[in-house]
Structure 1
Amino acid sequence: MADKSIIATDSAPQAIGTYSQAVKVGDTVYLSGQIPLHPTNMQLVADEFTPQLEQVLQNLQAVCQAAGGSLTDIVKLNIYLTDLANFTTVNEVMSRHFQQPYPARAAIGVSQLPKGALVEIDGVMVL
């Protein structure tokens, strides 16, 4: 098996369970799901969807940077939404953070997320 290393940063929320922020195996980084917690106080940043999505992307960026990459190195995203009516907003916000070629992506409707979050995103990054 390739060398495995754990990625951790104080610039993103600390894990609130039995998982790591990310795990790097070879040149692939598996990013754990990020919810819209502010990294210093571990509270949701807002009740509204757009600020929550922006915080999730900031948290993902922080973990990507800790692994030696950035959002542009992500090849696959899974986006979990408690309301699929926010799908259009996801596309608008992502267009500000990603350029073509876009990562592969899934948008999945779920009944609830940790801490009452409206959105969670995990992904895979290749360095």
Structure 2
Amino acid sequence: MTVQTLFTPHASQASGPYSHGRRGGDIIFTSGQIALHPETNELLTGVRESTRLVLDNLLAIVEAGGGSKETVAKVDIFVRSLDDYDEINKEYAAFFGDVRPARVLVQAVLAPGAVLEASMVAFAKD
């Protein structure tokens, strides 16, 4: 099996010794993403805007591996506060529409200033 390391300019750059993601066979794993804008490196702190940017960044990584929104199998979300659950769900539902990946959402200690971090597992289309 060939394993491919994934990087894309459409997601915030990795801040440590890791890649944006990896593809092995038809499975794509992303690294966690916080709401860092890929062009300005600005950390967004609003819950809904952070959720959307993180999902956009993760999808860019999935697409770099040959996947799409429709092939996302699972999303793991780590939140600073469970009080943000409803706002995250609104943006998540708007992003995915009728696509319903499996999901985990748990409260966690995050990088300073981050309101959430998430990662995806997806299948490649090709």
Percent identical: 31
SS in 1 for 2:8: coil
Alignment of 1:73-112 (within 5 A): 73-111=71-109
Hey, what's the Cα distance between the residues in 1 that align with 2:77 and 2:25?
Answer: 24
TM-score, reference length from structure 1: 0.90
Q: What residue is the counterpart of 2:26 in the other structure? A: 27
Q: What residue is the counterpart of 2:42 in the other structure? A: 43
Q: What residue is the counterpart of 1:11 in the other structure? A: 10
Hey, what's the Cα distance between the residues in 1 that align with 2:95 and 2:49?
Answer: 14
Q: CA deviation at 1:80?
A: 0.3
- Residue deviations 1:52-84, cap 9 Å, x none? 111101111211221122222110111000011
SS in 1 for 2:106: strand
- Residue deviations 1:80-104, cap 9 Å, x none? 0001111111221111111345111
Matched, 1:122 2:119: yes
Hey, what's the Cα distance between the residues in 1 that align with 2:11 and 2:111?
Answer: 16
Gaps of 5+ in 1: none
Which consecutive segments of 4 or more residues in structure 1 shift more than 3 A? none
TM-score, reference length from structure 2: 0.91
| Residue-pair matches, total | 124
CA RMSD of aligned residues (A): 1.3
Gaps of 5+ in 2: none
Hey, what's the Cα distance between the residues in 1 that align with 2:39 and 2:68?
Answer: 21
Hey, what's the Cα distance between the residues in 1 that align with 2:99 and 2:30?
Answer: 20
Q: What residue is the counterpart of 2:59 in the other structure? A: 61
Check conservation: 2:70, 2:99, Cα contact below 8 A.
no
Check conservation: 2:33, 2:117, Cα contact below 8 A.
yes
- Residue deviations 1:13-70, cap 9 Å, x none? 11101111010000000011111001122221x3211111111011112112211222
